[in-house]
Amino acid sequence: MKKVLFIDRDGTIVLEPENLQLDSLDKLEFYPKAFQYLAKIAKEFDYELAMVTNQDGLGTDSFPEDTFWPTQNFILKAFENEGVLFDDIFVDRSFPEDNAPTRKPRTGMLTKYLNNPEYDLENSFVLGDRLTDVELAKNLGAKAIFMNLTDGAGSTEISSKREELDGTIILQTTDWKTIYEFLKLEARSASITRKTNETDIFIDLNLDGTGKSKIETGIAFFDHMLDQISRHGQMDLEILVKGDLEVDEHHTIEDTAIALGEVFAKALGNKLGIERYGFCLPMDDCLAQVAIDFGGRNWLVWETEFKREMVGKMPTEMFYHFFKSFSDGAKANINIKAEGTNEHHKIEAIFKAFAKAIKVAVKRDTEKMILPSTKGML
């Protein structure tokens, strides 16, 4: 199946003039880094490229054809000279008040892609600087790379509420380098379901998320600590657990840790380009140090003690067990040390440092997509 990059023109690959009408070469200014990184995208990836642009009133007295095409053809030729060829070009000529089915965010120009088994719209992207581009992505069943940090442009032409579009935006940036790196690295996501006689667990993980979380284990303090992993590790994490809490907390915590470790191993995949390796973090009276190595071997060094039996409804003895089980599931070495007097702070500092250590370890470098091992495998 073919993946597509649906690319807006004005405000995306060329800068949009103040009067919003690019009708002469004098007004033409290319978007910073668009040549460099769109050329790399065209060369290195297998996306089809489709230009999709609204040109209000093209062909009318206010925007004659002969003022549009010289600039349009110059833009196309300039990108062609850099190795960027658009497979399709779609230009809508209507005004916003016409409500034409072909005008973005509506999909009338793009019917060839809809319900077509040749195209993988779910893994395709719309790149644009207006909320109409984001809603176009939503209407296509694709994702949006939103090249606008102010959120305002196009708001009068969308039918969705602004918050309804958040799930469609996969990346928000004004930097073509960031777009290239995102497409090159792709989001590392994985899900896992683990059912036993004692627990029923579902976990969904996106290592390259933004820190969104939904945690429901039935143990409030445990939820709070797992949320630290998501927020401070800047990963999206959904954990839904039904466990035999009427017995005690052991099975819920242990099985969650095992499944969480396994989903990390699954999301990391071949581990190409990862940094692989710790973090030291203070929190009030406490200092926590966590080092992690996703090197394929499980091991836990644990150097901390707790004076309280329980924090909330979570036994403090289970924290060692959580990290040991995560280590087993993720096949990772973990070294944890913590000191301090307030047990809540100490535990929270450990989880925050753990999250930061993971963030460092899973970071990738697009220029060095190699395996960080002299053995040739991890």
Categorize the per-residue pLDDT at 34 as very low, low, confident or very high, splitting at 50, 70 and 90: very high
Per annotation, catalytic residue among 10, 92, 255, 293: 10
Per-residue pLDDT at 374: 59
Contact 169, 146 (CB under 8 A): yes
Mean of per-residue pLDDT scores for the chain:
92
Give mean pLDDT, residues 237-245.
97
User: Does residue 318 carry a pLDDT above 70?
Assistant: yes
Please say if 8 is a catalytic residue: yes
Contact 133, 105 (CB under 8 A): yes
Task: Look up the pTM and report it.
Answer: 0.64
Contact 68, 80 (CB under 8 A): no
Categorize the per-residue pLDDT at 275 as very low, low, confident or very high, splitting at 50, 70 and 90: confident
Q: Among candidates 128, 45, 110, which has minimal Cα distance to 83? A: 45
Categorize the per-residue pLDDT at 237 as very low, low, confident or very high, splitting at 50, 70 and 90: very high
User: Does residue 375 carry a pLDDT above 80?
Assistant: no
Q: Among candidates 329, 328, 322, which has minimal Cα distance to 225? A: 322
Per-residue pLDDT at 129: 94
Categorize the per-residue pLDDT at 359 as very low, low, confident or very high, splitting at 50, 70 and 90: very high
Categorize the per-residue pLDDT at 280 as very low, low, confident or very high, splitting at 50, 70 and 90: confident
Categorize the per-residue pLDDT at 43 as very low, low, confident or very high, splitting at 50, 70 and 90: very high
Instruction: Give, in order, the Cα–Cα distances in Å from 327 to each of 116, 205, 260, 347, 350.
Output: 44, 17, 10, 18, 15
Going by their DSSP bridges, the two strands 236-243 and 199-206 should be labelled as antiparallel
Report percent pLDDT > 70 for the chain: 95
Q: Strand pairing partners for 125?
A: 5, 143
Per-residue pLDDT at 91: 97
Per-residue pLDDT at 346: 96
Categorize the per-residue pLDDT at 373 as very low, low, confident or very high, splitting at 50, 70 and 90: low
Q: Among candidates 139, 319, 355, which has minimal Cα distance to 237? A: 355
Number of helices (H), then strands (E), in the chain: 8, 16
pLDDT tens-digit readout, 242-262: 999 999 999 999 999 999 999
Instruction: Give, in order, the Cα–Cα distances in Å from 300 to each of 161, 261, 337.
Output: 47, 13, 11
User: Does residue 303 carry a pLDDT above 60?
Assistant: yes
pLDDT tens-digit readout, 45-55: 899 999 999 99
Going by their DSSP bridges, the two strands 143-146 and 125-128 should be labelled as parallel
Per-residue pLDDT at 156: 85
Per-residue pLDDT at 181: 87
H runs (alpha helix) in 234-374: 250-268, 317-330, 343-362
Peptide bond preceding 17 in cis form (omega within 30 of 0): no
Per-residue pLDDT at 211: 93
Q: Among candidates 42, 4, 41, which has minimal Cα distance to 119? A: 4
Give how far the C-alpha of residue 101 lies from the chain's centroid of Cα atoms, to the nearest Å. Answer: 31
31-45, 156-170, 219-233, 290-304, range with the lowest pLDDT: 156-170
Q: Strand pairing partners for 293?
A: 333
Categorize the per-residue pLDDT at 160 as very low, low, confident or very high, splitting at 50, 70 and 90: confident
Q: How far apart are CA 188 and CA 8, in angstroms?
A: 26
178-182, 329-333, 334-338, range with the lowest pLDDT: 178-182
Angle at 41 between CA 39 and CA 46, to 5 degrees: 125
Q: How far apart are CA 359 and CA 326, in angstroms?
A: 16
Q: What three-state secondary structure class fits 190?
A: strand
Q: Strand pairing partners for 215?
A: 239
The DSSP call for residue 311 is: E
32-36, 213-217, 331-335, 370-374, range with the lowest pLDDT: 370-374
pLDDT tens-digit readout, 82-131: 999 999 999 999 999 999 999 999 999 999 999 899 999 999 999 999 99
Give mean pLDDT, residues 232-249.
95
- Count of CA atoms in the C-beta half-sphere (13 A) of 63: 18
